[in-house]
Every structure is written in C-alpha cells, then in structure tokens.
Structure 1
Amino acid sequence: MASGNIERRTILKAAGASAAALGLAATTGCGGDSGTSADGTVTIRYSWWGAEERQKRISQSIRLFEKKFPKIKVKTDFQDYVAFWEKFQTQAAGGNPPDVFQNAVGFLRKYDKRGILLDLKSQIDAGNLSTRNFREGVLSVGQVDGKQLGVPVGSNTMALVIDKKVFQKAGVTPAPGWTWDDYFKALKTIHDRTKVPGDTGYFSIMYLYDLYLRQNGKAFFTKDGLGFDKADLTEWWQDGYNRVKAGIITDPKTVAQDRPKSSVTAKHGASEFTWDNFTVRYTAEGDSEYGLAPIPTTDGKNTGQYLASLMLSASARTKHPKEVAQFIDFMVHDPEVGKIMGYDRGILATTDQYAAFKPSDPVAQEIAQYEEDTAKAGVLGTITPHPSGADTVEAAFLRIAGDMSLGKYKVADAVKQFFDESEAAFQA
C-alpha cells in the first residue's frame, strides 16, 4: 500500500490481509448491472474494498483499460473492508455477485464451496488470461484444489515494524536469524531502558501465530480445520498475557485508546508485527523513524514466512467470462497500471509491473528491499491452506485474544471459546 491510509483494527493486526487486505474509507462508487448493449458493448461490474486513494488509482487504471478495449465498460463499486464483505455476501446469496472483485485467501474455499467463484483455468486455456511473468510463488496463492480461483495483483509478507529511535536508545539491533528468546529479551530491555513497552500485542495476530507454528512443524490451518491443539494456544496466549501484566507489552486499554493510530506511532509501543507493505502508514502517522526488522525464529533460520496476496476473482455467474478475463489480464500485466497502482495492494505481482514501477520514496524502497532480501534468504514457503470459515476464525482469534488480555477471560476459558467458535465456523 502506498497511500498511508488508516486501516481498521483487524487490518492493523494483520488480520483480514488474509492476507493482504488493505484499505478502509467507507465510501461507495457507482454500481450497476452488467450486460450487453445494442452495439455489442459489454458492461462488467468490478467491486473492491479500499480507501479514496485506491479508488483514484483504480479509476485511472480502468480508463486505460476502456481505451484499449472500447467495447468493454467497467462499472465500479467500493466500500471499506467490513462493508464490502457484508454487501458481497448479500449479493452472492441473491445470485448477483459482481463479475470481478477483489479477494483474499481467507475467502477462496468459503465461496468456492458455495459455487460463487469462477475457475479461471478455462479462460487461461482460451488465451484470454496469461499466467506468465508472475513473480516466483505468487500465482499459487490463488489456487485451491487444482483450480485458479484468484489472480494476485500484489504480494506481501509478515514483518516486524520498529521505531528505530527507540530501539537505538535501548541498544537493541534486530538481526536475521534472531530467536524468539532474543526478541522477548529485547522487549524487556527496551522497556527497562526507555520505559516504552516493546510490542503492542503480538499474541493476537493470527498470521504471526501461523508463522510460529510453521517454525515448529505445525500450521494454523489445515484444509479442513485447525492445525494445532489447545495446549499450543494456551502456551502462546498465557505467555502473551504474562508479558502484558509485566508491562513489556502495551496495555490493551492503551491500544484501544490510541486507535485509529497505532500504539507504535502514538509512542506507546516500540514494535508491531504486520504486513510489510503496511509500513507506509507508520511514517504517515508518526514523527519518529520506522523500519522493518526480521521475523524471530525458533531455529535461527526458518521464519515460516510466505507470500500472501490480494487478488482478483470472477463470479461463476458472470455472463462475460472472456471480458472479465481480459480485464484481469490487463490489470495484472499492463506496465502503465503498475506505475499507477504502485504498492497500494502490495508489491506488484507480475514482473511486467514490478519492473515498471520504480519506488522513489524511502519507505517503498525499504519494503521492496525487504521482500527481495526475504526471497534471497530462501525461507519463503507455501501459504497455509485456508478452509471454509477461515475468515470467521481469524476475526474470532483477534477478538478473543483481545478480551483475554483485558482480563475478560481467563486464558483457559479464552482458548475453549476460540476452539468452540472455530468448530462452529468450519461447520457453517
């Protein structure tokens, strides 16, 4: 993301990004029905979530597309993240989803299970959508059970955003391969020497916990459910709770009071785990110097990281699959679109666009360098499968962890509540 817009709580804590969900302002563009006019002009509906800055960039990109494909008109609709999915669910249930829409990995199996998503392989085979020139490992994010249900527009990976001045004052220097023990010792050192809590609440971030589990031979999800047990989560949340009580982690009441700002930029925390391309929002919000640090490890090497992505998916009910495929192809491959979009939806997914956009500001340059360094380190793996219901589970993890940290639940009760809600979500 290159706009510095404020993300909602779930996104700030790296949820819903499911990957990579990014935007927020509650605004709506024009809607309309898809169809074919008397002169053969086809109209398709395109919906996404995002803020005003993204809307401007996408509108500019659509103008280029309509110039190249004058017989295809694009009607647009956008909301904030929560409103988007509420509206999409209503449209899907009514049999009238948009022809093409922004999507994320946590929703693929859910809507594939309901017959909502078009398998784009038919259009790939027909030559209307190219899968060439995608950066390594990116395209597979949109694949489920042999189907291409989404085409990535950008990629990101988990990182640790730090307040460089606080870390320097405490004499702490993050380094590749540092362990969780190193990290937690660093948090205590930062607190002892600067009186600033070292982290804003790592234990509530589902995607970070997934990395920790992957480092230890497990994963947050399997194809059908959870890939860890109650004992695993009890340890993770109990340790987090203890660190909150010790002052090493920001008081969750303070985190709530700081919103919509991050507690890092409010100077109530020295670091925060999030997606790498969210880094721009810290510079926009705060007056310190912020940067990216490596993910802590269990064995000194394996970070458990993978590339996540925002993507474009199509409706299985669209009457214009060819035109939708041509639109997706243009939006992910055209170099001019890459220049317009920049890193708004992550590091550009195709080499065509990645090469076309040259970040000029230091933050975007650091984001690009972080992804390049992570790829070169050879630690990137395949994204964990997300079963149907993963979006509900993700929201529950964040909410219950937050309630637990406030003392509303004992840890054991919080763990039980999470597993109960997860089971219900998978069965829905």
Structure 2
Amino acid sequence: MGTGTNVERRTVLKAAGVSAVTLGLAATACGGNGGTSADGTVTIRYSWWGAEERAKKINQSIALFEKKYPKIKVKTDFQTYQSFWEKFQTQAAGGNPPDVFQNAVGFLRKYDRRGILLDLNSQVKAGNLSLDHFRAGVTKVGEVDGKQLGVPVGSNTMALVIDKKVFEKAGVDPATGWTWDDYFKALKTIHDKTKVPGDTGYFAIMYLYDLYLRQNGKAFFTEDGLGFDKSDLTEWWTDGYGRVKAGIVTDPKVVAQDQPKSSLSAGHGASEFTWDNFTVRYSAEGSSTYGLAPIPTMNGKDTGQYLASLMLSASAHTAHPKEAAQFIDFMVHDPAVGQIMGYDRGILASTEQYAAFKPTDTVSKEIAQYEDTTAKSGVLGTITPHPSGADTVEAAFLRIGGDLGQGKTKVTDAVKQFFTESEAAFQA
C-alpha cells in the first residue's frame, strides 16, 4: 500500500529521508493552508513520505503539473514514514493538514472520524477528478462507507521475496499452490543445507498474518476491531518463536542489527514476506539474486491476497478543493507522470500510466509479471476493512512480535499485551 506499513516502517522508508532543502524543494509552511495571490495564482501544499529518489521523481512530476496549470503552485514537504505521521498528527490536531497528502488504508477511518479527509466524490461530480480508467478493483481501497477518501497512485500485493542462490543451493523450488507445511519444510531444508535461516521473521508481519487468517475464514480486522481471538494469535506466535529458537527463522536481534538493511539482503535470511514492489530494494542492497515466490496456502489455491495501495487524499480543511482535486487527477492519470514515477509506489494504478511505463530492468519486469499473474489466477479478494486505530495496532503487532522473538516476553504475556493495546487503540 501500499501500501503496507509494517514492512515499510521496518525497512525501506525508515532508512531514507533528506530535507526538502537538499533537493531545492519549497518547504511547507506551518501556518495557513495555501493561499491566492493578487493575480489569482493558488498555492496548495502537498506532503508525502519516502526516500530521496521518490522526492526527485515527485518534484519532476510537479513541474509538469505547474506547466499545465500555471495558476496553481505546489509547496512540498516530505519525510521518512515515522516522521511524516508524527508531523501530520500535529498538523491535523491543529486543523492545518496539507491540502493534498500521501495516505494509506490504515489511516482512512482514523482521520475520517476526525473530520480531516475530504470526500472526493464531490470533486468527481464537479468534473475536477476522474475515477475512470483504473485497474480493476484498485479504487475500492480508498472507499470508506461510501466516501472516496483516497485515490490510488499504485497497487501492490503481498509476496515472498527469496534469495534465489540460497534456494537453489538447498534444492528448494517454490511452486504455485504450495502449502504452509511445504514452506516450513523448505525453511528447515534451507537451514540444514546452507546454515542460513530460511525466513527473516514472518510472524511479526501483520499483513502476512492477515493473509493467513483470510485463508482460514477470518481476517485481521473487522470494521471496528480485531477479527481473531487470543487462541489464534497464541498459535501463530508460538509457532514463530519456536522456529526462531530452532534457527530456522532469523534471530530478531540480528534483524535489528542489520537495519536499515534487510536481513535478506544482508545474507542473514533466505526469504522475506513483503509487498511485491519492494523487491527493488533487495537488489540495490544485496549481492545475491532475488526473486518473487508464491504465497503459501492452506488448500493449495486460496492465498488471501488482495490489492493494497498508496493513495492521495485531500484535506477537508483545504481552501482550494478544486485545485487539490485537479492536482490529484493529474498525478494519478497523466502518462508522463507514470513514466517518471515507474513502480516507486507500486504497480501504476491508472490504465493510462500503467500503459505509459514500460519497465526495462529485470526486477521491475518480474514485479509486473507477478502482479499480473496473481490477478489472472483469480485469487485476489477485497482488502480487509481497517478500523480507526489500525495504524497503532499494526505498530504494536510488529513491536511485540519482535520482543517475543528476542525472548523479552513470553507468548502468553505478548498476546495479552497486544490485545490490551489494541483495545485501547480502537477506543482512542
């Protein structure tokens, strides 16, 4: 979701971040939501999280927008993931969020409940924004209770990234339809033959656990809380902790020491569950050959997968809803923007941009092929609803799972703590 925040928080987005000054970008002012100059020029504010490369691409895209709309100027601000949401929380509390900002599914209900998000359906009706020409099902990610609170810029789905050389050395060939039993046997085989842990820590990844639950007729979230009970989580975390102790899963202490690099690209694990578009980071960080493998299943078919998305939202407090909508429309539909952004934020969501960008590198081609194959297989479902407080719950799942893996807490205590913190998050 692009939109996936637990993996982003642990890996890519925490690792990066330079100031807007470094890139020559205009810093976002804290006072006032944009303005209108004497000649009728409107200024809107746009904020996002990400790394330097994303910022450069977005800056290039904004230049194209301002050329097409000379009466709209865009002030920009970007941060690392954690810093972005800390700053946004302060801005939202003060009634001064950016006019347009990058968003993810875990934050929609939270900020809609606080009256921060603009229902973009009004701008669709006014002709300032189009929800046509998107890849099937993608726009649903931004819908909450009939309101369009975000428009996707890219889509992704959970995948298993593997170190191909280690898998080949161990004689393991992941195949479509393999089961969890097959996967865990593969992890042991890899460890026994190569002395490399088979996985970097699957049990602390909320979005992976969501897939596992969906395969078993449940889900991580309902619209107002958790969709599983303590016995479910006890089984999941007991299983994961047991594999850490056996050396089959990377010691979380090693994972922490490897940051901001992934333990997969550091050579301390042979596979890692993450969003498919994150695959590019492993080739950049590591010295091996990396690829995508299918999600394990319970029955050989149903993976529980769905399309997630990073998206653009607008502030309900903006003084310039028309201009904000025109900016979003340009950024999600313009083919030239698609060529610039590529798969930085996932597989391009609109058909115009998807058709305009032709990946040339091997990794991007494999990402596109993986998502296309997954879509054609008929396994993709609808994303699980995320209640208000989901972002806090996700952070707790990652943190407590990590503590468990390091032996800082027992399974029973970890489960109790997670449910206590989740309940508080939903009521906040």
- Tell whether 2:8 aligns with 1:25: no
C-alpha distance after superposition, 1:118-176 (max 9, x if no partner): 00000001111001110011100000000000000000100000000000010000001
8 Å contact 1:101–1:312 — kept in the other structure?
yes
C-alpha distance after superposition, 1:321-352 (max 9, x if no partner): 11111000000000000000111111000000
Structure 1 residue 26: Cα displacement: 4.3
> CA–CA distance in 1 between the matches of 2:6 and 2:119?
31
In structure 2, give the amino acid aligned to 1:226: L
Which residue is equivalent to 1:7?
none
Structure 1 residue 251: Cα displacement: 1.2
- Tell whether 2:277 aligns with 1:277: yes
> CA–CA distance in 1 between the matches of 2:285 and 2:293?
19
> CA–CA distance in 1 between the matches of 2:39 and 2:314?
24
C-alpha distance after superposition, 1:18-52 (max 9, x if no partner): xx979831424511340111111111000111111
C-alpha distance after superposition, 1:232-254 (max 9, x if no partner): 00000000000011111111111
Taking the TM superposition and a 5 Å limit, the aligned residue runs for 1:399-418 are 399-418=399-418
8 Å contact 1:155–1:348 — kept in the other structure?
yes
> CA–CA distance in 2 between the matches of 1:261 and 1:68?
40
Q: How many residues align?
A: 418
Q: Secondary structure at the match of 1:153?
A: strand
Tell me: CA distance 1:64–1:118, structure 2 relative to 1, closer, same or farther (3 Å).
same
8 Å contact 2:6–2:398 — kept in the other structure?
no
- The alignment's TM-score, normalised by the length of structure 2, stands at 0.95
Tell me: CA distance 1:122–1:59, structure 2 relative to 1, closer, same or farther (3 Å).
same
Q: Secondary structure at the match of 1:288?
A: coil
- Tell whether 2:320 aligns with 1:323: no
In structure 1, give the amino acid aligned to 2:309: S
Which residue is equivalent to 2:310?
310
8 Å contact 1:15–1:205 — kept in the other structure?
no
Which residue is equivalent to 1:212?
212
In structure 1, give the amino acid aligned to 2:190: I
Which residue is equivalent to 2:168?
168
C-alpha distance after superposition, 1:192-239 (max 9, x if no partner): 111111001000000000000000000000000000000000000000
8 Å contact 1:78–1:84 — kept in the other structure?
yes
> CA–CA distance in 2 between the matches of 1:352 and 1:258?
39
> CA–CA distance in 2 between the matches of 1:27 and 1:215?
42
C-alpha distance after superposition, 1:337-378 (max 9, x if no partner): 000011111100000000000001000000000000000110
- Tell whether 2:226 aligns with 1:226: yes
Which residue is equivalent to 1:139?
139
Which residue is equivalent to 1:287?
287
Taking the TM superposition and a 5 Å limit, the aligned residue runs for 1:345-356 are 345-356=345-356
Q: Secondary structure at the match of 2:272?
A: strand
Which residue is equivalent to 1:261?
261
Taking the TM superposition and a 5 Å limit, the aligned residue runs for 1:101-250 are 101-250=101-250
C-alpha distance after superposition, 1:370-390 (max 9, x if no partner): 000000110000000000000
8 Å contact 1:297–1:303 — kept in the other structure?
yes
Q: Secondary structure at the match of 2:56?
A: helix
Q: Structure 1 vs Structure 2: percent identity of aligned residues?
A: 80
In structure 2, give the amino acid aligned to 1:296: P
Structure 1 residue 259: Cα displacement: 1.4
Which range moved further: 21-30 or 255-264?
Answer: 21-30
8 Å contact 2:117–2:149 — kept in the other structure?
yes
Q: Cα RMSD (Å) of the superposition?
A: 1.6
> CA–CA distance in 2 between the matches of 1:313 and 1:208?
26
Tell me: CA distance 1:300–1:361, structure 2 relative to 1, closer, same or farther (3 Å).
same
Which residue is equivalent to 1:13?
7
In structure 2, give the amino acid aligned to 1:123: Q
Runs of 5+ in structure 1 lacking a partner? 2-9
Tell me: CA distance 1:16–1:144, structure 2 relative to 1, closer, same or farther (3 Å).
farther
Structure 1 residue 12: Cα displacement: 6.9
> CA–CA distance in 2 between the matches of 1:186 and 1:339?
39
- The alignment's TM-score, normalised by the length of structure 1, stands at 0.95
Q: Secondary structure at the match of 2:280?
A: helix
8 Å contact 2:6–2:205 — kept in the other structure?
no
8 Å contact 2:6–2:395 — kept in the other structure?
no
> CA–CA distance in 2 between the matches of 1:225 and 1:11?
18
> CA–CA distance in 2 between the matches of 1:407 and 1:247?
14
Tell me: CA distance 1:384–1:206, structure 2 relative to 1, closer, same or farther (3 Å).
same
In structure 2, give the amino acid aligned to 1:49: W
In structure 2, give the amino acid aligned to 1:99: D
> CA–CA distance in 2 between the matches of 1:74 and 1:341?
18
8 Å contact 1:27–1:80 — kept in the other structure?
no
In structure 1, give the amino acid aligned to 2:7: K
Q: Runs of 4 or more off by more than 2 Å in structure 1?
A: 10-17, 20-24, 26-29
8 Å contact 1:44–1:72 — kept in the other structure?
yes
Which residue is equivalent to 1:98?
98
> CA–CA distance in 2 between the matches of 1:45 and 1:101?
8
8 Å contact 1:23–1:81 — kept in the other structure?
no
> CA–CA distance in 1 between the matches of 2:41 and 2:144?
33
Tell me: CA distance 1:391–1:233, structure 2 relative to 1, closer, same or farther (3 Å).
same
